[in-house]
Amino acid sequence: MNVKRKMRRTSKLLKRIPFLFVWVTLVFGQSCAAPAALTTQDKWTVMVYMVGDNELEEYVIPDIEQELAITGSSQNVNVLVLADRAPGYDTSQGDWQSTKLFYVTQGMVADSASAVADWGERNMGNAQTLIDFVAWSKTNYPADHYALYFWDHGWSWHPGWVLIDETDVDTLDYDELKNAIPSLGFIDVVGYDGCNMASLEMLQVWHGYSTALTSSQEYVEDYGIEYDALLAELIANPDMSADEVAIATSRSAIHDKTWSALATDSRLDTLLTAVDNWSIALMNGLPANRIEYERAFEATQSFWDAPMDKDLYDMAFELERTVADQNIKAKSLAVMDAVRQVVLYEKRAEEYGGANGITIYHISSASEKDSDYAYYRSVIDFALTTNWDEFLNAYVP
């Protein structure tokens, strides 16, 4: 199982003067204490969708108190968290287990008294909960730019693995997310603080609805995104662009083996077109080049926790150098060039020398034509709009 775990940190900064609290009525029919929204629009509103209703619960409180609340919100940057906890894993801060909304201030304690709302037991695997959180955040804290971070388990588009809510026995699967995204409105930066989410498939689902996405190609271990470092940089320079925030997010994940910041706006168009053309060339060249394909795919960088995720750039590189067909070579080079335009930043550990920021789904045997494969071909936008899945289907009869 892909696990995103966090470690406790003890660094502290000077406490900021608390925001004025006023009584507001939420759209959900609840009354609660909430900080007064500013009369002028802020620069950034940062939203963290923290799905801790599972065995990661023990990291919910430390991440709020020792990362997000190290800086908290500022005059130009709002920090909001919707956090859900589970029974049985952690009893800190009163062992609250419902879904609470926090406006994070510097030095805040993540207890029930600090929450601006208690939404009861909400299913974090239900897209409506995500829609409600983003809508509340945008209504109460409008800003020039928005960043949305998903905190929990992950595995790209695979159903049953992303944002696991144990109490409600649910996950926020790709098809639900795809249907919900138009209701969220534009999100400048999307961040996945979870495993194996830096895939071409996830870039495609956010294409046109965001500017950049940041996450890891490989599993995420102890730290993941270090929000204290990210927010310190953003608060110091609230005029940062979406690209800069995505890059700063990636830089903050210093303990993980891979991390990248990737463009999801019009810059992605060239890559999607290049991969589609490449897929057609690979299909046409399959009868004459099957052995060369097998050799190239075997040499392509894969990832320990998700072996069917292959590095896109490295795959094109291996095919270009292995196959003699000039058309395939040209189409492979075009993919490599397009990847370079989409990858804004990437880092990799020594053992992942072939990692270049973006993965793509690949199968190599008939046994891998399972339920996930069927879901991929019938649901995933990337498969529906390119010939990549047609190539995979031809390559693995």
Q: Residues 332-353: pLDDT tens digits?
A: 999 999 999 999 999 999 999 9
pLDDT confidence of residue 221: 84
pLDDT exceeds cutoff 50 at 257: yes
Q: Among residues 268, 275, 247, 252, which one has the least CA distance to residue 336?
A: 275
Q: What is the mean pLDDT of residues 354-377?
A: 97
CA-to-CA separations, 272 to 6, 12, 73, 342, in angstroms, rounded: 34, 44, 37, 10
Over pLDDT 90: what percentage of the chain? 88
Structural domain boundaries in the chain: 21-265, 268-395
Confidence of residue 305 (pLDDT cuts 50, 70, 90): confident
* CA-CA-CA-CA dihedral for 353, 356, 49, 176, to nearest 10: -120
More confident residue, 42 or 28: 42
pLDDT exceeds cutoff 60 at 3: no
pLDDT exceeds cutoff 80 at 34: no
Burial class (CB in 10 A: 0-12, 13-18, 19+), 298: exposed
Over pLDDT 70: what percentage of the chain? 90
What are the two backbone dihedrals, phi and then psi, of residue 330, each rounded to the nearest 5 degrees?
-65, -40
Confidence of residue 1 (pLDDT cuts 50, 70, 90): very low
pLDDT exceeds cutoff 50 at 28: no
Confidence of residue 88 (pLDDT cuts 50, 70, 90): confident
pLDDT confidence of residue 83: 98
pLDDT confidence of residue 335: 98
pLDDT confidence of residue 6: 36
pLDDT confidence of residue 190: 98
Q: Among residues 200, 342, 325, 332, which one has the least CA distance to residue 262?
A: 342
Burial class (CB in 10 A: 0-12, 13-18, 19+), 328: buried
Q: Among residues 389, 392, 365, 361, which one has the least CA distance to residue 377?
A: 389
| CATH T-level assignment (fold) for domain 21-265 | Rossmann fold (3.40.50)
What digits encode the pLDDT tens for the residues 145-167?
999 999 999 999 999 999 999 99
Are the beta carbons of 187 and 143 closer than 8 angstroms? no
pLDDT confidence of residue 367: 96
Q: How far apart are CA 291 and CA 228, in angstroms?
A: 49
Give 317-362 as a DSSP string.
HHHHHH---HHHHHHHHHHHHHHHHHEEEEEE-GGGTT--S-EEE-
CA-to-CA separations, 387 to 94, 208, 246, 392, in angstroms, rounded: 53, 20, 29, 9
Confidence of residue 22 (pLDDT cuts 50, 70, 90): very low
What are the two backbone dihedrals, phi and then psi, of residue 40, each rounded to the nearest 5 degrees?
-105, 150
pLDDT confidence of residue 177: 98
Q: What is the mean pLDDT of residues 132-139?
A: 98
Contact residues for 113 (Cβ-Cβ < 8 A; gap 6+):
none
Q: How far apart are CA 364 and CA 286, in angstroms?
A: 14
